[in-house]
Structure 1
Amino acid sequence: MLSPVPKSIRFTNCVVYTPWRIEDSVVFTDKVLQVGGSLKADVELDLSGAIVAPAFIDSHVHMSSSAFKLATIDLQGKSKREVLKHLKTAKPAFSGWVYARGWDESFWSKKQYLKPDEIENQNPVLAVRVDGHIGVLNRKAIELAQSMGINVTTDGIVMEHELTRLVSQITKEFDLNEWLLKAQSECLKLGVTTVCDIESDEFLSYYLRSPPKIRVVFSPIGLTKRAWKTGEVITSKLFIGFTKLFADGSIGARTAAVSFGYRDQSGNPTLFYSDSQLESLYKESLSRGMEVMTHAIGDLAVQQVVRVSRKFQNRRLRIEHNELVLPEELEAQEVNLVCGMQPNFLQWSYPGGLYEKRLGEHILSRNNHFKCLLEQGAVVAFGSDSMPLDPVYGIKLALNAPNPKQRLTLKEAIRCYTYNSAYANHLEAQLGSIEVGKTADLVILDSQSLHVLQTYFEGVKVYSTETI
């Protein structure tokens, strides 16, 4: 017989990040009843000094990518030798194709992309880089992709839109639904109860077919013909978010629009739109009731999004990634934007890393200025971009960032992954902070390692380790 759900729970002997102040207890049901104070509850739990914070809100994910990582071969964090070994023995699972994701040459000794002849497999193989902007094919796959009308470079690389087309074709018979639900369970293990999921508009059908386990703010890529509006409630856990636009590509693929070019080899550092074209897209989206979030990584793209966004007042417009805000004086102009940024990108900000390899040593002190932006008064909302989807990983990088302009306190980092992300997604009235009357989405973290010990969704424990 199941035990009855307690009417109220009180956490004591803990460090509660609200996240603006620190308290020593919290009482809640499905809502927060008291923070600090002496209110009694039906159940009292001594947390032995653990940290209690609002559950994480990942403001920028691709749940399809997270699901495919579970369903396919996950190459993230693996050496080149390990990657090639996995690809050699892999069996086809997608219309006769081997499909793998997550390799990152910036951590390899020679820091070079995979090459078609290195991938020894008789089946067609698509190996997508960690950033999702490029993929490498083996010889068999090159022939098949070209027969499908996919544009493949002489190096066996498919990029950007062509990669999206190829992935769509080889996975069209695959039912991702089971793996999407597993990815949501993984979110709960990582303390994440809400995500802003950026996908093609037809991806919404997965959430309608199987109601999500977590809250999803669904943001379609590009203008959609559907009559959606930002903030629209589809189900109790499914909301409409933003129109996702792209001003440039990625540093890893050498398609981010940087003014100083690439030092390691030639790239394509150009803007995807003129200012007038981007402004027209903003106008059309906003006229339909959809707010806009725009991918901008290179300094030219960041400058463009700031220029265009300035023409639209009293909106909650978002600039996504925002890695190279140059010149640094531009940071002050981002106070009226929501800066959706990824602390896990700091993995590439160390000497010898991706930023230095692609752009030069001068960029090591000029990327991802979380601290400076917060001090300017900007809203910095953290997300993972599913690289990897793990807030604690990103928070640890922010706490130990190599440059003081990037480095945050724990309180600041938690705020960026909770309240600021709630604000970014128009959910701050219900989520993102531990305040009386707000929804009791909570995460308990080990005070030393910050590992997730428990996750609560609307006051119900949905994940727990054996250590608490």
Structure 2
Amino acid sequence: EDVVLNLNRIFPPSFDEIKRAILRAQEVALHLNVGEIHDILIPEYYRAYLELEKEGNLKIKVLGFVLDEFRDFEEPEGKFVKFGGWKIFLDGSIGARTAALEKFSYTDGGKGMLLHEDEELEELFKLARERGKVLMIHAIGDRAIEQVLRVGKGRVCGDRIEHFELARDEQIERAIEEGFILSMQPNFIGNWSHGGGLYEKNLGRDYRINNRIGLIYRKGGKILFGSDMMPFSPPYGIDSVVRAPFPEQRLSYREAYKIYTSSSFFSKNNQPS
């Protein structure tokens, strides 16, 4: 998401173009019976959502998270548009082999990288608590997840770990104990988790431990489903997790449907007041 948002600074769209793009995306969401989205934004995009609501053109609810560089961000909220908090990227992706690994390795021996020091994340936790907001923390590899768990210990109040793709057993237990919301993408299983897919090509034998949604659900973890727009389709996400190749990933149709339809409400109402 960070790359896409930075491209907008190189080729900046006009404010009207942003609004038109949102309305086109809204059509897709409504076609899929999606009535609420959680979006990662720069301030101008948040303001576009607010203006569309004032004009009577916004038909879906929006919980917006701005990038962590905008720490002074403070905007009014609407009936449909709310400010959730800040998004921070602690590592990269498995496809680019930049997700930060500790106990695992890429097939070329690489370990990826962390993007922030502990002190930076500590400062953001403090800001979120002071402002009564939450953090959306991108952490894919087990080293990045370890950083979240280490820095976030005793500080969690509705905060989310985004992706949580390569969590070790003890990290799953600690994340649940601390009360993190685990925002995961079941469509990643359908896209990349089957034999010969992206995960196996990049991680080798370790690829089987990715996206263990079923295990986390059965242990009582707080799970929120998203898509990262790959693709934007709850039906595909449900099919992916129901037909997942490994038992620790798999959910029943009823379980997957429940997460998609109830956990967004729970994530909003788990924010500090």
With structure 2 as the length reference, what TM-score do the two structures score? 0.89
- Asked if residue 283 in structure 1 is aligned to residue 129 in structure 2, the reply is no
Q: C-alpha distance in 2, partners of 1:167/1:266?
A: 34
Q: C-alpha distance in 1, partners of 2:269/2:88?
A: 19
8 Å CA contact retained: 1:286, 1:292: no
Match of 2:71 among 203, 224, 246: 224
Displacement of 1:169:
1.9
8 Å CA contact retained: 1:278, 1:308: yes
Distance change >3 Å, CA 410–CA 165, structure 1 → 2: closer
- Which residue is 1:207 aligned to? 49
8 Å CA contact retained: 2:40, 2:64: yes
1:320 is paired with a residue whose SS is strand
Distance change >3 Å, CA 274–CA 363, structure 1 → 2: same
- Which residue is 1:334 aligned to? 175
AA in 2 matched with 1:213? K
Q: C-alpha distance in 1, partners of 2:264/2:44?
A: 25
- Which residue is 1:157 aligned to? none
Q: C-alpha distance in 1, partners of 2:187/2:23?
A: 24
- Which residue is 1:168 aligned to? 9
Higher mean alpha-carbon deviation, 399-408 vs 247-256, is at: 247-256
Displacement of 1:186:
0.8
- Which residue is 1:376 aligned to? 219
- Asked if residue 261 in structure 1 is aligned to residue 127 in structure 2, the reply is no
- Asked if residue 181 in structure 1 is aligned to residue 27 in structure 2, the reply is no
- Which residue is 1:235 aligned to? 78
1:175 is paired with a residue whose SS is helix
Q: C-alpha distance in 1, partners of 2:21/2:7?
A: 20
- Which residue is 1:356 aligned to? 200
Distance change >3 Å, CA 274–CA 256, structure 1 → 2: same
- Asked if residue 403 in structure 1 is aligned to residue 246 in structure 2, the reply is yes
Q: C-alpha distance in 1, partners of 2:7/2:227?
A: 24
Distance change >3 Å, CA 417–CA 240, structure 1 → 2: same
Equivalent residues in 2 for 1:417-456 (5 A)?
A: 417-426=260-269
Q: C-alpha distance in 1, partners of 2:10/2:74?
A: 27
Q: C-alpha distance in 2, partners of 1:417/1:216?
A: 16
The structure 1 segments of at least 4 consecutive aligned residues displaced by more than 4 Å after TM superposition are 265-268
Displacement of 1:387:
1.1
Distance change >3 Å, CA 165–CA 320, structure 1 → 2: closer
Displacement of 1:201:
2.1
Higher mean alpha-carbon deviation, 165-174 vs 387-396, is at: 165-174
**Higher Cα Rg, which structure:** 1
Displacement of 1:288:
2.2
Distance change >3 Å, CA 322–CA 283, structure 1 → 2: same
AA in 1 matched with 2:39? D
Equivalent residues in 2 for 1:140-179 (5 A)?
A: 160=3, 164-173=5-14, 175-179=17-21
Structure with higher RCO (Cα < 8 A, 6+ apart): 1
Q: C-alpha distance in 2, partners of 1:375/1:170?
A: 45
Q: C-alpha distance in 2, partners of 1:349/1:416?
A: 20
Q: C-alpha distance in 1, partners of 2:227/2:85?
A: 17
8 Å CA contact retained: 1:344, 1:397: yes
Deviation per CA, 1:404-444, whole angstroms, max 9, x where unpaired?
0000011110121121222112289xxxxxxxxxxxxxxxx
Distance change >3 Å, CA 363–CA 415, structure 1 → 2: same
Deviation per CA, 1:62-108, whole angstroms, max 9, x where unpaired?
xxxxxxxxxxxxxxxxxxxxxxxxxxxxxxxxxxxxxxxxxxxxxxx
8 Å CA contact retained: 2:193, 2:199: yes
- Asked if residue 274 in structure 1 is aligned to residue 121 in structure 2, the reply is no
Displacement of 1:367:
0.8
2:144 is paired with a residue whose SS is helix
8 Å CA contact retained: 1:201, 1:224: no
- Which residue is 2:166 aligned to? 324
Deviation per CA, 1:13-38, whole angstroms, max 9, x where unpaired?
xxxxxxxxxxxxxxxxxxxxxxxxxx
1:235 is paired with a residue whose SS is coil
AA in 1 matched with 2:171? L
AA in 2 matched with 1:179? A
8 Å CA contact retained: 2:18, 2:45: no
The answer to which structure has the higher helix fraction is: 2
Aligned positions, number: 261
Displacement of 1:261:
3.2
% identical aligned pairs: 37
Distance change >3 Å, CA 168–CA 227, structure 1 → 2: closer
AA in 1 matched with 2:95? G
Higher mean alpha-carbon deviation, 355-364 vs 184-193, is at: 355-364
With structure 1 as the length reference, what TM-score do the two structures score? 0.53
The answer to which structure has the higher strand fraction is: 1
